[in-house]
Chains A and B, each alone.
Chain A
């Protein structure tokens, strides 16, 4: 399977406003994620990156504006249509969010059991394969509490890709990982995009990841409460004149 690069818009965010009660976190967010992109949502701590992600995956309704999937406004749909779109997502949560009462195999098997007609043995086989993909072969019968944080994240990815999703969302994938694990995770993300042909949206503020894997990005700013730039992070570093973006992308050195 080769790279699937087309210009087709996969996710469009239009004039999105996010607020907690009357406190507006971000307003007027407008950007487009193309099919096959690894799209980075970046910005300092507390600028609303994770909240934006929650708006995009359907966990939290925005205060205003639209999130469009294939031209359809997600938040205007009925519950069943929403579910149909959400089935195309694979999400890795910040903490991994594995169901702690289930083994890794059961965690990965749950979405397969819910949405496919596969038998027990077939599911077991697929689960082993998905766990092997993320480097966790042989850990089927471990509980999340028995493995390390980095392994939990990878198991979370195995669960996220269980149903071969069209769009993968990653919330701070490398937070809390050592540099080598973080780099392996980056490589895994790129590999998944290339081989599954998925579109990837990553929330992160880890500069090495941003430059290594991102080919498009949006920069959120907490102070002005809106986005300051959209584009390839490498280009932003080379061309942007905005002092906030420059300072973020160079660790405050220029």
Chain B
């Protein structure tokens, strides 16, 4: 990659190009040439000598294109004759369609207030969209209850299997560990009073009223909510949802309802299962570390947990099921038409679901406290 500039007496600049030009060696800089342009008088014209030029690739072309642009700005004629024929043709090809000036994205930074305003409008719109989606989903759900909704039974059973049975291993693991953790935390405090046996009460009540439902819902948000969003998003990208709409089949009934029904049915069951796994985890700590006999632990748990203690957890599980299904489907249906949009939809579905779970959990806990269950 050799370049040298020669200025003749009549201000013609001859550029000698030599050696091999390879893109892996980096691009040649035009700085020296630009400095040359600073000095008066400007070159009368630019000539090339490529006699010693070896192999070349786009690095040479990029260099020449930049040089030509610089010269065009100062209206200095560039004579390409001395260049290899291939180079001349490619440079002509690049110049064949003139640059579209307004095609460059406007990189101008918008003002702070404009951005805040636009964000507020966007937030308002998305709240509107969300409400519209919830409204439509409610209407469709009424149809499901009246048995008039149109979806394939086989889809529903597949979904029930997917978000019921297939979620058991991970729900088992998480619940067992949560029960274990709760027992550890409780044991340290209760040991100070010699009241280790109350670990059973603590774990039992915490799992049944709160942690069982919440942990199951969060696992399902990450596992199933994201899957719903990705499935529906891909269907949107692939025009499958359009194909349903033009057939007069409501995607809300055909796609969203089976998913919602499956989750609403399965989440309470998973939650119940999670409660038992959690109690089992607590029992392991109680029996293994606190020297409570298994029977004693069981008796204590049984005494602490009346059936009523399970009601708040189960109600929460139903509500969380709706939240996870709605946010997964909402984000999926809102998906734009690109592969990256599907990823965003899945992420956003999980975030929306978890926020919805925690917020509704807080509200429900206060309500249950007020009405005393």
Interface residues of A (CB under 8 A from B): 54, 57-59, 83, 86-87, 89, 91, 93-95, 97-101, 110-111, 114-115, 159
* Cβ B150 vs Cβ A97 within 8 A: no
Task: Report A-chain residues with C-beta under 8 Å of the C-beta of B245.
Answer: 58-59
Cα of A159 to Cα of B244 in the assembled complex, Å:
11
The answer to whether A114 touches B249, judged by C-beta atoms less than 8 angstroms apart, is yes
Docked CA distance A89–B245 (Å): 12
Complex CA distance for A242 and B246, rounded to whole angstroms: 36
Taking CB atoms, residues of chain B closer than 8 Å to A159 are: 243
- B242 contacts the other chain (CB 8 A): yes
Minimum CB–CB distance for A209 against chain B, Å:
20
- Are the C-beta atoms of B155 and A86 separated by less than 8 Å? no
Q: Which residues of B contact A87 (CB under 8 A)?
A: 247-248
Additional A-B contact list (7), CB under 8 Å, known A91-B243, A95-B238: A59-B246, A94-B239, A97-B239, A99-B235, A99-B243, A114-B248, A115-B248
Q: How many A-B residue pairs have CB under 8 A?
A: 47
A188 to B280, CA, bound (A): 65
| Distance to closest chain B CB from A108 (angstroms) | 12
A245 to B244, CA, bound (A): 36
Decide: B240 and A86 in contact? CB cutoff 8 A. no
CA distance A94 to B237 in the complex (A): 11
B150 cross-chain contacts in A, Cβ below 8 A: 114
Cβ-defined contact, A100 with B247, below 8 A: no
**Set B155, B239, B242, B243: member contacting A101, Cβ < 8 A:** B155
Contacts of A114 in B (CB 8 A): 150, 247-249
Q: How far is the CB of B337 from chain A (nearest CB, A)?
A: 11
A115 vs B240: C-alpha distance when bound (angstroms): 19
> CB-CB < 8 A to A95: which residues of B?
238-239
Q: Using Cβ atoms and an 8 Å threshold, which residues of chain B touch A111?
A: 247
B238 and A86 within 8 A (CB): no
Q: Are A93 and B247 in contact (CB under 8 A)?
A: no
- Could you tell me the distance in whole angstroms from the C-beta of B251 to the nearest C-beta in chain A? 11
B277 to chain A, nearest CB (A): 31
Distance of A58 Cα from B248 Cα, bound (Å): 10
Q: Among A83, A97, A98, A100, which residue has its beta carbon within 8 angstroms of that of B242?
A: A97
Q: Would you give the shortest CB distance from A110 to chain B, in whole angstroms?
A: 7
B interface, CB within 8 angstroms of A = 150, 155, 234-235, 238-240, 242-249
The answer to whether A58 touches B247, judged by C-beta atoms less than 8 angstroms apart, is no
Please, how many angstroms separate the alpha-carbon atoms of A82 and B247 in the complex? 11
Enumerate chain B residues within 8 angstroms of A97, measured Cβ to Cβ: 238-240, 242-243
* Most-contacted residue by chain A among B155, B234, B244, B246 (CB, 10 A): B246
Task: Give Cα A114 to B240, complex, Å.
Answer: 17
Question: Residues of B contacting A98 with CB < 8 Å?
Answer: 240, 243
Do B247 and A110 touch across chains, with their CB atoms under 8 A apart?
Answer: yes
Using Cβ atoms and an 8 Å threshold, which residues of chain A touch B240?
Answer: 97-100
Residues on A with C-beta less than 8 A from B244 are 99
The reply to whether B238 and A58 contact each other, CB–CB distance below 8 Å, is no
Find the residue from B238, B239, B243, B244 having the highest chain A CB count within 10 A: B243
Cα(A89)–Cα(B249), bound, Å? 13
Shortest Cβ gap from A90 to chain B (Å): 9
Known: A95-B239, A114-B150. A57 touches B155 (CB 8 A): no
In the complex, residue of chain B having the shortest beta-carbon distance to the beta carbon of A59: B242
The smallest C-beta distance from A24 to any residue of chain B, in angstroms, reads: 16
By a CB distance below 8 angstroms, the chain A residues around B249 are 110, 114
Most buried by B among A86, A98, A101: A101
User: How far, in whole Å, are A204 and B234 apart by their CA atoms in the complex?
Assistant: 24
B238 engages A89 (CB within 8 Å) = no
Once the chains are docked, how many angstroms separate the CA of A100 from the CA of B155? Answer: 12
Which residue on A lies nearest to B158, using beta carbons? A101
Q: Which of A54, A86, A100, A110 contacts B235 (CB 8 A)?
A: A100
B residues near A94, Cβ cutoff 8 Å: 239
Contacts A/B (CB < 8 Å), 16 sampled: A58-B246, A86-B248, A87-B248, A89-B246, A93-B242, A95-B238, A97-B239, A99-B240, A99-B243, A99-B244, A100-B234, A100-B235, A100-B238, A110-B249, A114-B248, A115-B248
Which residues of B have CB within 8 Å of A58? Answer: 245-246
* Cα A11 to Cα B239 with chains together (Å): 24
Per the bound structure, the CA–CA distance linking A58 and B244 in Å amounts to 12
Taking a contact as CB atoms under 8 Å apart, the answer to whether B243 and A86 are in contact is no
The smallest beta-carbon distance between A21 and chain B, in angstroms, is: 12
Q: Which residue of A lies closest to B248 (CB)?
A: A83
B65 → chain A, closest Cβ, in Å? Answer: 24
Closest Cβ neighbor of A82 among chain B residues: B248
> What's the Cα separation between A91 and B242 when bound, in Å?
10
Interface contact A93-B248, CB-CB below 8 Å: no
Assembly CA distance A83 to B249 (angstroms):
9
Question: A89–B247 Cα gap in the complex (Å)?
Answer: 8
Most A Cβ at <10 Å: residue of B155, B235, B238:
B238
Given known pairs A87-B248, A100-B238, A114-B249, the reply for A93 and B155 (CB within 8 Å) is no
CB distance from A94 to the nearest CB of B (A): 7
A136 to B211, CA, bound (A): 53
Contact A86 B239 (CB under 8 A): no
Task: Return chain A residues, CB-CB under 8 Å to B155.
Answer: 101
Smallest Cβ-Cβ distance to A156: which chain B residue? B243
